[in-house]
Amino acid sequence: MRMTYTSDLWWKNAVIYCLDVETFKDGNGDGIGDFRGLTQEIDYLAGLGITCLWLMPFYPTPNKDDGYDVTDFYSVDPRLGTLGDFVEFMRTAHDRGLRVIADLVVNHTSDRHPWFVESRSGRDSPKRDWYVWSDTPEPNPKEVVFPDKEDSVWEHDERTGQYYLHTFYRHQPDLNVANPDVRDEITKVLGFWMELGLSGFRVDAVPFLIENVSPELADPHDFLAELRAFMTRRQGDSVLLGEVNLEYDQLLSYFGEGLGDQLSMCFDFVAMQRAWLSLARREAGPLASALRERPAPPKDCQWAMFLRNHDELTLDKLTEEERQEIFAEFGPEKHMQIFGRGLRRRLPPMLGGDLRRVKLAYSMLFSLPGTPVIFYGEEIGMGEDLSAEGRMAVRSPMRWSREGGFTRAERPVRAMPEGPNVADQKRDNDSLLRWIQLLIERYRESLELAWGDHTVLDAGDPAVLAHRCDADGATVVAVHNLADRECDAELDLAGLESCLLTDLLVDGTVEVPRSGRVRLPMEPYGCRWLRVSSPEVAPEDASVKAR
């Protein structure tokens, strides 16, 4: 089937870069990152090849949960700037061709939000039903998300004698989206920020957002469809990117089964976790099985691919034995682990700082079918700060120079551990920064990777992950050696007989014989992206190697 590549589906081959304004760049010298500082670095992000910025929460907050405890959905935290600074940032981003999405955190509010202050003022409060209250909370509460801080999802309110629901921390009461007034208000929030230039939202904790809905809504997913319909009316190419950490069979309904009328994109937590299992074992099998099992999303929907993000590296979809394998390989010390299900580390130190292996990991990320999402600092190999509490270990300030470069203040908002920096890596053609730039450039040139049909190939060696992506008669083949040894990948490229494979990451070509079988030499932790073209003559020998 011929595929049409249109700009209104820009997010299908976007490169999404997640950042926290508070820790990215300080523009006024007070030690806290802000929109003025972020605006100063828009050219850096555009030069890197980023096409979409994802902003973590920047709204007013008591900051008990790094901004995810919101007290006003219609403004900017004064520490980070003003609405005027935000608009100037948006103007600059759009001028450089970047789109911007922001976290939509509407599962809950801060307990200091005026809505909740009014809701808990009395049982007859007009906003009482904006939150979830109960006289008799469930005797066996659902799984506690943060077992290091909470032992229940219900908190007793002494003033009114009832309990309120909080899926996360007790200072974050859940909104009741079954209430039509709440749904209307959330829609207004979307409309407000879209009017200021946002192209969409990353929806936080989507299953928790809709699973607590009372029977007043016949189908909780109707709420997601309502949000998507509203955004489409306002801006046809807007996007909803959902955090849905579920198995594939449960996750499909969040796209809108068969219709694609709910979330535009969903993070692929299953493939992410299997990728780490493959990296730990140095075997392609776990990730290959996930890619084979993964269902195709509805038309015009897309998977979002990632290896690390701003939270813990959750491993909850693996067995306990598999989790322990990854812990042993990448986080053997207890203080590196969190919640019993994840790691609070960044990718480069997890891979021992081995640049070959780090480059391999990001090559896999950008070549896997879906839209790549990276976390700020990944492009320079930033490490974590294990002295910080919990998930804050991976949220330290961005390093722009050897001296830090984040702020002119003596004390930044958070400690800045030593590590790689942007300035040095810009001058080093072999740096991780230059590698990420190359991957982004090749990914953006290779529409097959984002838009095409993908097929996992048998590579003849358990260490090798190989897959091909086909679109409109064009093909790219990606091959990755997860082991620290040389090997040959033997591929059966049915339908590509007598073709030429051109390396996209290094200079070289491989001729595919008339048999369609080709042998590719792979260095330890080697990676190759190969574009298919048609040479005039193909050889008989099936073992022709790159020259």
- The pLDDT value recorded for residue 417 is 87
In this structure, the strands spanning 162-165 and 52-55 are unpaired
The SS3 assignment for 8 reads: helix
The SS3 assignment for 283 reads: coil
535 versus 207: which is more confidently predicted?
A: 207
Distance CA 15, CA 10 (A): 10
Q: Could you tell me which residues come within 8 angstroms of residue 407 by beta carbon, excluding any fewer than 6 positions away?
A: 26, 29, 30, 31, 32, 33, 397
Among 362, 244, 347, residue whose Cα is nearest residue 304: 244
- Given a cut of 90, whether residue 495 has pLDDT beyond it is no
- Given a cut of 80, whether residue 24 has pLDDT beyond it is yes
Q: Where are the alpha helices (DSSP H) in 127-238?
A: 180-195, 206-211, 221-234
542 versus 404: which is more confidently predicted?
A: 404
**Triad 326, 328, 333: Cα angle to 5°:** 115
> DSSP assignment of 220-255, as one string?
THHHHHHHHHHHHHH-TT-EEEE---S-HHHHHHHH
- What's the average model confidence in pLDDT over 436-460? 95
Give the model's confidence band at 137: pLDDT under 50 very low, under 70 low, under 90 confident, else very high.
confident
DSSP helix, strand, coil percent of the chain (3-state; round to 5):
35, 20, 50
Output the furthest CA–CA distance in the chain (Å, rounded): 84
- The pLDDT value recorded for residue 538 is 43
- Given a cut of 70, whether residue 453 has pLDDT beyond it is yes
- The pLDDT value recorded for residue 211 is 80
Give the model's confidence band at 314: pLDDT under 50 very low, under 70 low, under 90 confident, else very high.
very high
- The pLDDT value recorded for residue 139 is 66
- The pLDDT value recorded for residue 210 is 87
- What's the average model confidence in pLDDT over 444-450? 92
DSSP character for 129?
G
- Given a cut of 90, whether residue 218 has pLDDT beyond it is no
Give the model's confidence band at 497: pLDDT under 50 very low, under 70 low, under 90 confident, else very high.
confident
Distance CA 399, CA 405 (A): 6
- Given a cut of 60, whether residue 534 has pLDDT beyond it is yes
- The pLDDT value recorded for residue 494 is 86
DSSP character for 320?
H
List, in sequence order, every residue forming a beta bridge with 133; answer none if it has no partner.
164
- The pLDDT value recorded for residue 148 is 81
- The pLDDT value recorded for residue 144 is 84
- The pLDDT value recorded for residue 146 is 87
Judge residue 379's burial from the number of C-beta atoms within 10 Å of its C-beta, 0-12 exposed, 13-18 middle, 19 or more buried. Answer: buried
Distance CA 382, CA 416 (A): 11
Distance CA 35, CA 100 (A): 13
- What's the average model confidence in pLDDT over 292-310? 95
- The pLDDT value recorded for residue 536 is 54
Among 16, 12, 99, 52, residue whose Cα is nearest residue 299: 12
> DSSP assignment of 12-62, as one string?
GG--EEEE-HHHH--SSSSSS--HHHHHHTHHHHHHHT--EEEEPP-S---
- The pLDDT value recorded for residue 215 is 63
- Alpha-carbon 210 to chain mean position: 21
- What's the average model confidence in pLDDT over 182-194? 97
- Residue 397 tokens, joined: 């300030």
The SS3 assignment for 271 reads: helix
- What's the average model confidence in pLDDT over 481-503? 93
Q: How far does the chain reach from its first CA to its final CA, in angstroms? A: 35
- Residue 380 tokens, joined: 């320079």
Question: Could you list the active site residues?
Answer: 204, 243
Residue pair 127/115 in contact by the 8 Å Cβ criterion? yes
507 versus 55: which is more confidently predicted?
A: 55
- Given a cut of 80, whether residue 214 has pLDDT beyond it is no
Among 465, 399, 396, residue whose Cα is nearest residue 432: 399
In this structure, the strands spanning 16-19 and 371-375 are parallel
Q: Is the dihedral of CA 21, 22, 24, 26 positive or negative?
A: positive
Q: pTM value?
A: 0.95
Give the model confidence (pLDDT) of 454-485 as tens digits: 999 999 999 999 999 999 889 999 999 999 99
Percent residues over pLDDT 90 in the chain: 86
Residue 274 to residues 30, 237, 380, Cα–Cα distance (Å): 42, 32, 24
- Residue 329 tokens, joined: 């390989």
DSSP character for 71?
S
- Given a cut of 50, whether residue 256 has pLDDT beyond it is yes
Give the model's confidence band at 1: pLDDT under 50 very low, under 70 low, under 90 confident, else very high.
very low
Give the model confidence (pLDDT) of 88-121 as tens digits: 999 999 999 999 999 999 999 999 999 999 999 9
Judge residue 150's burial from the number of C-beta atoms within 10 Å of its C-beta, 0-12 exposed, 13-18 middle, 19 or more buried. Answer: middle
- The pLDDT value recorded for residue 3 is 52
- Residue 363 tokens, joined: 């090559």
